[in-house]
Amino acid sequence: MKGSLGRTLECLSHLREQLFGTWYPVTLTVIGLLSLSLSAGLALHMRSQEQRAWDKSVEQALVQHGKHIQDSLTGIEDELRAAGHVMGHAPQLNQSYFDAIASDKLKYYFGIAWVDLRHAAQPIEKGCITIGPGTHYVVRFQVNQRGAHNLVGVDLSCDHVRAAAMTAALRTGQIQSAGLVNLYQGNMPGLIAALPIWHANAPEQPAGVLLAALEFETIIDRLRGELINSSRYDLQIVDASQPGAPRLYPLQAPAQGMPFLKTDLTFAGRRLQLQLRPGLEKLRERDSYLPVAIFGVGLTVTLLLLLLLHSQVISRKRAEILSIVRSDDLVDRENRLAALFNHATIGIIRCDNKGRILQANRAAANMLSCPETALLGQEIPSLFDPRSEARLRNHRQDRIPYVSELQLNSMNGELIPVTVQILPLRSPSGEPYSWMLLEDLRDVRHAERMKMQFISTVSHELRTPLTVIRSSVELLSLETLSEDAKILLQATESNVDRLQHLINNLLDMEQLQIGALSLTQKTHDIRPVLLNVLELVEPLMAQKHLKTRFELPKNPVIAHVDDERLLQVLVNLLSNAIKFSPPAATISLSAKAENDYTRLVIEDQGPGIPEGFRSRLFQPFAQADGDDNRRWGGSGLGLYISNNLVKRMGGRITLDSEPGQGACFNVLLPADEAVSAATVLE
């Protein structure tokens, strides 16, 4: 699973390399910037589109709104004029007639009143309306429920008449205050409409005035819910026919920006204007999050790309460094291995599973007296002498580590003894191969020969003086001597014997090791040898007061042996038994025929052979411990020589010993020549 993911990533990376190559970081940067600018552009475009759509909808709403307000105003004016016309032709123009007409007109008005001017010489107060004298009329309007007095003059006939009336009224003090006649004043959001009524019976002067207080609030409130949510903007109505266009609605408006949309209204011949100014929440509420979201996405994509670029650059850099480090490391390791391989003093050969040489070092080539390249492709077994070759061919099948001493067949015809070590291995792909290590044994063999030569020479050179000493002592002992001189001579003789024994052993060992020891074996009764042995060791036994248990078999004991060497073996074994027996102990010797062999058993009552020493028992110069060596003397060659002599004769020596219970050596001798020959061959 992990592997397949890894491979996929590898493929992607490869594809990327193919597509972009080294321009990859640049490409990534360009894509990032493009995505950022695209998203920003798109966001701005959407933002302006939205703004335009919104503006359009607001404009439409305003126009519609204006149309509705205008309709209301036109309706009011028409109604007032209609009412004025009716009152102008009324049969009895009075308050009750007005009441009958106006009763159903109240829905748009704050108030509606009839001021009869035919009988009023003084300013009058009627209801909530105060009216001045003359043809001019100034109205004091008491707003119901709100309690504030507002002076509002409304002239629905013409402006200059109204202005003169106002001035006159102020001069006479008939009115409390005056100014330009506004449709609106004070804190009442509305306007007063006044319509002079000329009655058909007295057309020379107005009979009175019909007053109506309009409330914008009522008109706009009714529309607001339907058209525009006023929290988005400020809707204002101003008197456009007045300088400075004073605001009529609303009374208290927050100081906002300039009007961005206007629509004209007319009421009773006066120009009003409906204006829209930006409100506090206008943009905020209408704002869509989509452009922001798009820009955010673009920004995110850019950031991600930059992040990716960064990580790519970092990882590429790291990979470069790692690859440099790795390749350095590999080269270093390769060099070290190559140096080891080329300069090793042992021969090293690598071969495939069919035993063909893939690689060989200088040492291996030197052993085979040919250049390294000449070895490549050759079969391993063919490098060896026929016997070794056969052994190697047998081995190759089981492919387990292998160590053996074989002989290389060098190109110059020389046979080279080598230790061969084969290490079977597998390559990472599972292909079997092996390393073969060749250790040249020529120097070892040479050293062994030198050692033997040394032993031989030394032994020979020792023998001559020893002969002289020995003979002299023997001849001297024939003379008449003092007791002291005799004792000294005995000591000299026994030490000469010991020295001679050692030298004989060394020479025997040499002969055995070089295979030069000759035996004269015959098949015969060995009972005389046994008797002879006992005779020879008798003096030693006597010294330690040891007893012998030996029954001479009645029947001949037949063995195929060299008498002298058998004697040597038995003397050796018995000497050991004597050496290690406690005083007055018993040593037993027995002989019996067993199938193809004759078994001689020598048993003592000494300390036995320690467990740890048994494996080394028959090795040259072996002693159980140094202490014994000093206590008992001896070179440690006796058992080695005895064992080898018996082996050469076709027999064997085995040990049967429990520590503390004495040692028991079994000497198995071949019963006849055939057995001997068969055993030696084995």
Binding site for other proteins (CB under 8 A): 456, 459-460, 463-468, 470-472, 474-475, 478, 500, 507, 516-518
Residue 407 or 459: which CB sits closer to other proteins?
Answer: 459
Beta bridge partners of 348: 437
What's the min distance (Å) between Cβ of 472 and other proteins?
6
CB of 456 to other proteins, least distance (A): 7
CB–CB of 631/617 below 8 Å?
no
Contact 274, 263 (CB under 8 A): yes
Choice between 95 and 500, CB closer to other proteins: 500
| Locus of tokens 């030490």 | 495
Task: Give the single-character DSSP code of 97.
Answer: H
Instruction: State the Cα–Cα distance between residues 662 and 229, nearest whole angstrom.
Output: 126
Alpha carbon 551 to its chain centroid, in Å, reads 85
β 586-594/547-550 pair status = parallel
Determine the Cα–Cα distance for residues 658 and 610; give it in Å rounded to an integer. 8
Residue closer to other proteins by CB (options 448, 474) is: 474
Using CA atoms, how far residue 121 sits from 95, 117, 118, 162, 460, in Å, is 18, 8, 8, 18, 184
Closer to other proteins by Cβ: residue 69 or 507 = 507
For other proteins, the closer CB: 439 or 510: 510
Q: Is 103 helix (H, G, I), strand (E, B) or coil?
A: coil
Residue 440 C-beta: closest distance to other proteins, Å: 29
| Helix-strand-coil split of the chain, %, nearest 5 | 50, 20, 30
- Is the Cβ of residue 405 or residue 564 nearer to other proteins in the bound state? 564
Rounded to a whole number of angstroms, the minimum distance from the CB of residue 336 to other proteins is: 53
Specify the DSSP class assigned to residue 379.
B
Nearer to other proteins by C-beta: 301 or 499? 499
CB of 464 to other proteins, least distance (A): 6
Give the shortest CB-512-to-other proteins separation in angstroms. 13
* Paired tokens of 657: 């010993």
Closer residue to other proteins, CB minimum distance, 65 or 565:
565
CB of 452 to other proteins, least distance (A): 13
Question: Closest distance between other proteins and the C-beta of residue 465, in Å?
Answer: 8
Nearer to other proteins, 302 or 459 (CB): 459
Nearest distance from C-beta of residue 604 to other proteins, angstroms: 30
- Judged by beta carbon, residue 270 or residue 463, the one nearer other proteins is 463
Q: How far is the CB of 468 from other proteins (least distance, A)?
A: 4
Cα gap 398→79, rounded to integer Å: 126
Give the other-Cβ count within 10 Å of 2's Cβ: 6
669/526 Cα distance (integer angstroms): 10
Report the chain's terminal Cα–Cα distance, integer Å.
60
The two structure tokens encoding residue 274 = 């409906």
Whether the Cβ atoms of residue 54 and residue 260 lie closer than 8 Å to each other:
no
> In 3-state terms, what secondary structure has residue 129?
strand
